[in-house]
Amino acid sequence: MVSRVIPVEPFDLIIFGGTGDLARRKILPALFRRFCDGQMEGGGRIIGAARTELDGDAYRQFVQEAIVEFVTDQRCEPAAIAKFLKTVSYVTLDARGDTGWNALAGMTDPSHVRAFYFSVGPSLFGDLAERLRDYGMGGGEARIVVEKPFGRDQQTAEELNATLARHFDESQIYRIDHYLGKETVQNLMAIRFGNMLFEPLWNSQYIDHIQFTVAETVGVAGREEYYDRAGAMRDMVQNHMMQLLCLIAMEPPAKFDPDAVRDEKLKVIRALDHVTPDDIVRGQYLDDGDRPGYLETVGDAKSNTESFVALKAHISNWRWAGTPFYLRTGKRLRARTSEIAVVFKDAPHSIFGAEAGRHRNILTIVLQPNEGIELGVTIKEPGPGGMRLVDVPLDMSFAEALGPDTQFAADAYERLIMDVIRGNQTLFMRGDEVEAAWAWTDPIIKEWLEGGATPLPYDSGSSGPTEALALMHRDGRRWREIRK
Ligand code: NAD
User: Over the stretch 423-475, which tens digit does the pLDDT of each residue have?
Assistant: 999 999 999 999 999 999 999 999 999 998 899 999 999 999 999 999 999 99
SS3 of the chain: CCCCCCCCCCEEEEEECCCCHHHHHHHHHHHHHHHHCCCCCCCEEEEEEECCCCCHHHHHHHHHHHHHHHCCCCCCCCCHHHHHHCCEEEEECCCCCCCCHHHHHHHCCCCCEEEEEECCCHHHHHHHHHHHHHCCCCCCCCEEEECCCCCCCHHHHHHHHHHHHHHCCHHHEEECCHHHHCHHHHHHHHHHHHCCCCHHHCCCCCEEEEEEEEECCCCCCCCHHHHHHHHHHHHHHHHHHHHHHHHHHCCCCCCCCHHHHHHHHHHHHHCECCCCHHHEEEEEECCCCCCCCHHHHHCCCCCCCCCEEEEEECECCCCCCCCCEEEEEECCECCCEEEEEEEECCCCCCCCCHHHCCCCCEEEEEEECCCEEEEEEEEECCCCCCCCEEEEEEEEEHHHHHCCCCHHHCCHHHHHHHHHHHCCCCCCECHHHHHHHHHHHHHHHHHHHHHCCCCEEECCCECCCHHHHHHHHCCCCCCCCCCC
Q: Residue 412: pLDDT above 50?
A: yes
* Residue 169 within a domain: no
Q: Which pLDDT belongs to residue 351? A: 87
Distance 22 CA to ligand 1 centre (A): 7
* Residue 466 within a domain: yes
Q: Which pLDDT belongs to residue 405? A: 54
Q: Which pLDDT belongs to residue 397? A: 65
Is 208 found in the same domain as 92?
A: no
Atom of ligand 1 at shortest range from CA of 178: 43
Distance, in Å, from the CA atom of 93 to the CA atom of 17, rounded to the nearest integer, reads 10
* Residue 4 within a domain: no
Domain that holds residue 96: 11-147
The per-residue pLDDT for range 106-131, each reduced to its tens digit, is 999 989 999 999 999 999 999 999 99
Nearest to 151 by CA among 141, 143, 162: 162
Is 417 found in the same domain as 306?
A: yes
Is 191 found in the same domain as 117?
A: no
Q: Which pLDDT belongs to residue 342? A: 97
Q: Spot the catalytic one: 167, 240, 314, 359.
A: 240
Which CATH number belongs to the domain containing residue 207 in this structure?
A: 3.30.360.10
* Residue 386 within a domain: yes
In this predicted model, which residue has the larger pLDDT, 258 or 402?
Answer: 258
Q: How many residues does the chain have?
A: 484
Is 190 found in the same domain as 95?
A: no
Distance 215 CA to ligand 1 centre (A): 25
Is the shortest distance between the CB of 50 and ligand 1 below 6 Å? yes
Distance, in Å, from the CA atom of 347 to the CA atom of 358, rounded to the nearest integer, reads 9
Residue 240 annotated in active site? yes
Distance, in Å, from the CA atom of 258 to the CA atom of 263, rounded to the nearest integer, reads 8
Q: Which pLDDT belongs to residue 483? A: 83
Q: Which pLDDT belongs to residue 1? A: 47
* Residue 369 within a domain: yes
Atom of ligand 1 at shortest range from CA of 94: 19
Is the shortest distance between the CB of 52 and ligand 1 below 6 Å? yes
Atom of ligand 1 at shortest range from CA of 50: 21
Q: Which pLDDT belongs to residue 58? A: 98
Is the shortest distance between the CB of 98 and ligand 1 below 6 Å? no
Distance 61 CA to ligand 1 centre (A): 19
Question: How many CB atoms neighbour CB 86 within 10 A?
Answer: 9
Is 455 found in the same domain as 362?
A: yes
Is the shortest distance between the CB of 95 and ligand 1 below 6 Å? yes
Is 366 found in the same domain as 262?
A: yes
Of 124, 147, 170, the position where a domain reaches its end is: 147
Which CATH number belongs to the domain containing residue 38 in this structure?
A: 3.40.50.720
Asked if residues 68 and 79 have their Cβ atoms less than 8 Å apart, the reply is no
Is 348 found in the same domain as 280?
A: yes
* Residue 102 within a domain: yes
Is the shortest distance between the CB of 126 and ligand 1 below 6 Å? no
Is 360 found in the same domain as 236?
A: yes
CA atoms lying within 13 Å on the CB side of residue 36: 21
Is 379 found in the same domain as 257?
A: yes
What global pTM score does this model have? 0.94
Q: Which pLDDT belongs to residue 408? A: 46
Of 105, 129, 147, the position where a domain reaches its end is: 147
Residue closest by Cα to atom 5 of ligand 1: 20
* Residue 153 within a domain: no
Is 431 found in the same domain as 327?
A: yes
* Residue 161 within a domain: no
Q: Which pLDDT belongs to residue 143? A: 97
Is 199 found in the same domain as 121?
A: no
Average pLDDT, the chain: 93
The confidence band for 403, taking pLDDT boundaries of 50, 70 and 90, is low
| Residue of 120, 128, 164 with the most ligand 1 atoms within 8 Å of its CB, for mutation | 120
The confidence band for 407, taking pLDDT boundaries of 50, 70 and 90, is very low
Asked if residues 157 and 438 have their Cβ atoms less than 8 Å apart, the reply is yes
Number of folded domains in the chain?
A: 2
The per-residue pLDDT for range 352-379, each reduced to its tens digit, is 887 777 788 999 999 888 888 889 988 8
Is 93 found in the same domain as 191?
A: no
